[in-house]
Amino acid sequence: MALTQEIKQQFAQYMALLEHPIQIQLSLDESESSQAMRTFIQEIASLSDKISIEETSLPLTPSFSLNRQNESSGISFAGIPLGHEFESFVLALLQVGGRAPKISSEAKERIQAIDQELHFETFVSLTCHNCPDVVQALNIMSVLNPKISHTMIEGGTFKNLAEEKAVMAVPTVFLNDEEVASGRMTLDQLLDKVSNPIATHSFDQKPCFDVLVIGGGPAGGAAAIYAARKGLQVGLVAKDFGGQVIETLGIENIIGIPYTEGPKYMNQVKEHLNQYKVDIIENQTVTKIDSNDLITIDLESGHQLKAKTLIIATGARWRLLGIPGELEFRNKGVAYCTHCDGPLFKGKRVAVIGGGNSGVEAAIDLASMVKEVVLLEFMPQLKADQVLQDRLNSLTNVKVITNAQTTEITGDKMVNGIQYIDRVSGQALSEDIQGCFIQIGLVPNTDFVKDQLDLTKFGEIIVDEHGATNLKGVFAAGDCTNTAYKQIVISLGSGATAALGAFDYLIRQ
Ligand SMILES: Cc1cc2nc3c(=O)[nH]c(=O)nc-3n(C[C@H](O)[C@H](O)[C@H](O)COP(=O)(O)OP(=O)(O)OC[C@H]3O[C@@H](n4cnc5c(N)ncnc54)[C@H](O)[C@@H]3O)c2cc1C
């Protein structure tokens, strides 16, 4: 559990920024996890003379809370915040110690206006790269409003509590003991759950953009940067900034960057975007496009935006199996992200559906965490690269079933089995499992343009070599198009192509 010398040095530098002393209240018992937490907190306290420790009793043991002198911040950590949560811990210390959180003035106003007692609990795993966003947002809310408190609960340490509350996905957020949310969420999205939305964008004052990009993944980011660099007036509207890349832990194929992680990379894309005058409109979903002299887009929120050209870069989402149990047990055993949710299935038997690269990678990943993996593939053979299949075959706790047509995911409160038909014998069979990871590919997010744009039979927008669609002034890029391969660098390139295509179109008008 010991922190490396390098981390200690960095940590000490951060702690030099503390403006007020911090008291850490520790709730411990004789368990091994309590002793590990004591060692961790003692090590942390030894790195700053502004941090003191007091042993006390808190609702969860082992846990600790961060407090200013004689004043609770409302922030607690149940479980040691290492891994992806170490940053959340450092930020919480800095904020409790007087450093202002870096959020918009509108968000701060919304938090401070909340006038009811809210206690949040977030179940996390330390390998979940989506969890820190939620933990950090709820910690900020606690720091800024004394009526709000938040406890991060590490699912591995509190396995029984996670089971009791039927938590099978992280992050899962409880508010005053009621489950209210699951999955990655921004501060604004969390605030929407507890306070009246206030207009963070004044839509009436939006200009008619030269280029309006829909999508905040690599294709949308690249398109907006390229268009802005041409001196055009650019807007970018996205449901969630980051796209699929946020779901990706290790990325090793962005040329010139030997290794990065999805959230880190998309933060860099956002920083890059912020160097230009791009109007980024987040948390907005486009439901319709209309094209006359100008292009009008309708947003789910009821607002409209206008532009001379449009670049659609809405990417793709996980394909659903379309069988009973899949939606009913989502986050109750049905999962998609092995890095995030895998640790919650420790000691359990889980299924992976899909024998392509993602399915086999998921099975390999899970095999190191769970008791046994059952991999089901519809075709007679797995479709994954041979190198992955070799690795899979070397594992002793993976059972591969081919020719399996999955028909139902069963369960009561949580998943307890999977039913399938053996396509050779026609026999109906089943496996007892407690989790099911679905990895059968992706579908393009193009439903909202299916009546206006030419699509392939897979629903991909058909574009020419300039990124142009069949509709005048409308371009498309990335995974939502009929590009041959779906990868980050390919999306970046096609975003640039579509922006240059839009620029050429505009100068010819
Ligand atoms: C688990 C996983 C691992 C991967 N690993 C790698 C890897 O290691 N290397 C690699 O090169 N590629 C990898 N990929 C593929 C890569 O992530 C995609 O090719 C890439 O993200 C596509 O970028 P995009 O911008 O086209 O779409 P996306 O990244 O899907 O972004 C789409 C954007 O559009 C927004 N959006 C969607 N619909 C709407 C709407 N109606 N209104 C407003 N906004 C909307 C979304 O919120 C999002 O911001 C991986 C993909 C997955 C799922």
pLDDT at 201: 63
Å from CA of 478 to ligand 1 middle:
8
Active site residue 337: yes
pLDDT at 1: 54
Q: Please state the pTM of the whole predicted model.
A: 0.78
For residues 254 and 265, the answer to whether their CB atoms sit within 8 Å is: yes
Pocket of ligand 1 (CB under 6 A): 214-220, 237-241, 243-245, 247-248, 251, 253, 285-286, 313-316, 445, 448, 478-479, 486-489, 491
Å from CA of 396 to ligand 1 middle:
33
Q: Is 136 exposed, middle or buried (0-12, 13-18, 19+ CB in 10 A)?
A: buried
pLDDT at 199: 56
Among 174, 186, 183, 8, which residue's Cα sits nearest to residue 78?
Answer: 174
As given in the structure block, the two tokens for residue 359 are 């399915």
pLDDT at 343: 85
Å from CA of 205 to ligand 1 middle:
30
As given in the structure block, the two tokens for residue 140 are 């900020």
The arithmetic mean of pLDDT across residues 392-416, rounded, is 96
Å from CA of 97 to ligand 1 middle:
37
Active site residue 341: yes
Share of the chain above pLDDT 70, in %: 98
Q: What's the pLDDT tens digit per position in 236-249?
A: 999 999 999 987 76
Share of the chain above pLDDT 90, in %: 81
The helix/strand/coil state of 344 is helix
pLDDT at 2: 65
Atom of ligand 1 nearest to the CA of 240: 47
In whole angstroms, give the CA distance from residue 82 to residue 43: 13
Q: Which of 131, 337, 436, 480 is catalytic?
A: 337
The arithmetic mean of pLDDT across residues 2-20, rounded, is 87
pLDDT band at 331 (very low <50, low <70, confident <90, very high): confident
- For ligand 1, mutation pick of 236, 244, 252, 443 (most atoms within 8 Å of CB): 244
For residues 438 and 445, the answer to whether their CB atoms sit within 8 Å is: no
Quote the DSSP letter at residue 257: B
In whole angstroms, give the CA distance from residue 317 to residue 314: 9
Q: What's the pLDDT tens digit per position in 117-162?
A: 999 999 999 988 889 999 999 999 999 999 999 999 999 999 999 9
Quote the DSSP letter at residue 148: E
Among 457, 448, 456, which residue's Cα sits nearest to residue 310?
Answer: 448
Residue 206, pLDDT > 60, answer: yes
pLDDT at 509: 87
Distance of CA 413 to the CA centre of its chain: 25
Å from CA of 217 to ligand 1 middle:
5
The helix/strand/coil state of 306 is strand
pLDDT at 106: 86
Which amino acid is present at 43?
A: E
Q: Which of 128, 131, 133, 341 is catalytic?
A: 341
The arithmetic mean of pLDDT across residues 483-507, rounded, is 96
Residue 200, pLDDT > 70, answer: no
